[in-house]
Chains A and B, each alone.
Chain A
Amino acid sequence: ETGVTQSPTHLIKTRGQQVTLRCSSQSGHNTVSWYQQALGQGPQFIFQYYREEENGRGNFPPRFSGLQFPNYSSELNVNALELDDSALYLCASSEGTDSNQPQHFGDGTRLSIL
C-alpha cells in the first residue's frame, strides 16, 4: 500500500504567475482534499474532490481550482499568485466522503511567492 505523495516539495514563484501542484492519493482512496497551511496556523480547507468532481469548497477565491483523475492523482492550480499565497499546501486522501473517514496527508508542497 503506497501513501500519499506530493510534488514538488518546494517551489518559488513570483506574483502574478500560475502554479500547479500535484498529489498522488493512497491506493483505493477516491476522495482527495487540499489544504493551505500558513506558518504557525492550522490547515485551511480549500476544496474536496470525489470521483473527479468538486463536492465541497472552503472560503477560497475561484483562482484556486483543481482536478482529480481516474488514477486517483489530483492537481491544485492557483492563478494570479499573490504574496499571501505563500504557504505549505497539503493534500489528504480518504476512502470516501463520509465525515468520519480518516484522512491521510501527504508531506506537502512549500510554495514561496516573491
Chain B
Amino acid sequence: GENVEQHPSTLSVQEGDSAVIKCTYSDSASNYFPWYKQELGKRPQLIIDIRSNVGEKKDQRIAVTLNKTAKHFSLHITETQPEDSAVYFCAAKRASGGSYIPTFGRGTSLIVHP
C-alpha cells in the first residue's frame, strides 16, 4: 500500500516569514495530492491540490510543488499570518480496484507568532 511521510511535525515561524511542509510518498501510481488545513476542533478543509501531470500550482500565498521522480511534494505558504496557524495534512491518492484510496500524512502543526 501507499506510505506518506510528512515533515516537520511542528513548525514555528514569525508572522511574515515563509513556511514549507514536505511530504514523500511510496506508490508511483498515486496521481492526486491534496493539502488540508485543520483548525483545532474543526473539519479538515481543502486548501490546494495538484495532479500528477502538473509540477507546480499557486493560489495567492499558497503554492504546491510536485516532483514525481523523487516522489515528493511540498506546501509553501508565503507572508504567513497568525490565522494560518493550524494543522496541515498532505495526502496522496491512488487507484485501487475501481476506486481511489487516499493516504494522509501525520500532519504538521504550524504556529505563526505575531
A residues neighboring B (CB under 8 Å): 4, 33, 40-45, 48, 50, 55-56, 58-59, 90, 97-100, 102-108
Contact = CB atoms under 8 A, between A and B. Distances in A.
B89 A42 contact: yes
Contacts of A44: 104
Interface string B36-59: 100000111110010100000000
Contacts of A108: 43
Nearest to A110: B41
A97 B106 contact: no
B107 A58 contact: no
4 tightest A-B CB contacts, nearest first: A56-B99, A42-B104, A99-B100, A99-B32
A74 to B, nearest CB: 15
Given A56-B96, A104-B46, 19 more contacts: A4-B43, A42-B6, A42-B107, A43-B89, A44-B104, A45-B104, A48-B99, A55-B98, A56-B97, A56-B98, A56-B99, A97-B98, A97-B99, A98-B100, A100-B49, A100-B51, A103-B34, A105-B44, A107-B43
Given A40-B107, A44-B104, A55 B44 contact: no
Contact of A45 (B36, B44, B102, B107): B102
A63 B100 CA distance: 22
Contacts of A41: 106-107
Interface in B52-103: 89, 91, 93-103
B107 A99 contact: no
B31 interface: yes
B55 to A, nearest CB: 16
- Listed residue (B34, B89, B99) with the most chain A CB atoms within 10 angstroms of its CB: B99
B73 to A, nearest CB: 14
B43 A90 contact: yes
A33 B103 CA distance: 13
B105 A99 contact: no
10 contacts: A42-B4, A42-B89, A42-B106, A44-B104, A55-B99, A98-B100, A99-B100, A102-B46, A103-B34, A103-B46
